[in-house]
Amino acid sequence: MIAVLMQTLNRALLAALLLFAFVLFAVQPLHAQKALELKPLFERALLLTKDGDFPKALTLWNELLELKPDDPAALSNRGNVRLVLGDAKGAIKDQTNALELTPLEIDPHLNRGIAEEALKDWESAINDYNWILERDPDNSSALYNLANVSGAKGDWNQAKVLFTKAAFARPGFAMARSSKALCDYQLDKIDDAEVELRNLIRRYPMMADVRAALSAILWRKGFYGEAESNWAAASGLDNRYSQRDWLLNIRRWPPGPTEDLMAFLALERP
């Protein structure tokens, strides 16, 4: 069984990723004494990774893998760290090596797909996410990431279907619902998008993504005062929503809502 520790990362090199998995496989040591010796090193490396001290974490993962090169958990975790530090190709290599040791594990496929997205290798990412969904059709992370790939390829109808499935598979997956609303926005189903965003705000009033998206819709409809009010909340929660490149390439908003929000911020009129 795999225990998964999910963390949201904000590094520019992770264009694909709102969800980032650190994996802990069941350790199968070559020798009981050796396992006891390596356990503190593994735990320190994992803690540094979770705390975001990636250069130090990488050093410890390297040390551990010198001592035990066939540890799939260490390989997959080092792959995640290498991706954050900008080495997507190295990350893919580590995830692939982890899969050679544990070919039926889901997490290295998910992690490798994220690294492939960072390289815009859409087809490889699709293959990894579909591999997961063939075995676990309700895997919300794979559904969500596959939706992002569909959006990157310009298929917002398919992205909407997949975001909807991700939200259904994981109740409370608010970002999937917000992304689905943004697909509606892109597809000119503005009223549907507004209804969903307002529903989300009632449940998650401090969610910047939803308030930023609603600001753009309200600007487009001419409700400038309410748009300003929602934007004040959104920008206070996360000022990155004012950055076009971040919206398009990291958060992965569709182009229509992004341009509307930029026009609103430029004090233009629809």
Same domain, 102 and 7: yes
Same domain, 165 and 227: yes
Q: Are 41 and 54 within 8 A, CB to CB?
A: no
Same domain, 131 and 165: no
Residue 154, in any domain of the structure = no
CATH number at residue 122: 1.25.40.10
* Confidence (pLDDT) at 124: 98
Residue 122, in any domain of the structure = yes
Same domain, 80 and 207: no
Residue 56, in any domain of the structure = yes
* Confidence (pLDDT) at 18: 33
* Confidence (pLDDT) at 270: 85
Q: What does the pLDDT look like over 170-196, one tens digit per residue?
A: 999 999 999 999 999 999 999 999 999
Same domain, 235 and 106: no
pTM here is 0.87
Domain of 110, in residue numbers: 1-136
* Confidence (pLDDT) at 38: 85
* Confidence (pLDDT) at 35: 58
* Confidence (pLDDT) at 37: 74
Q: What does the pLDDT look like over 50-99, one tens digit per residue?
A: 999 999 999 999 999 999 999 999 999 999 999 999 999 999 999 999 99
The total of structural domains in the chain comes to 2
Residue 143, in any domain of the structure = no
Chunked mean pLDDT (size 10), the chain, 270 residues = 34 41 46 66 94 96 95 96 97 98 96 96 98 98 98 98 98 97 98 98 98 98 97 97 96 98 94
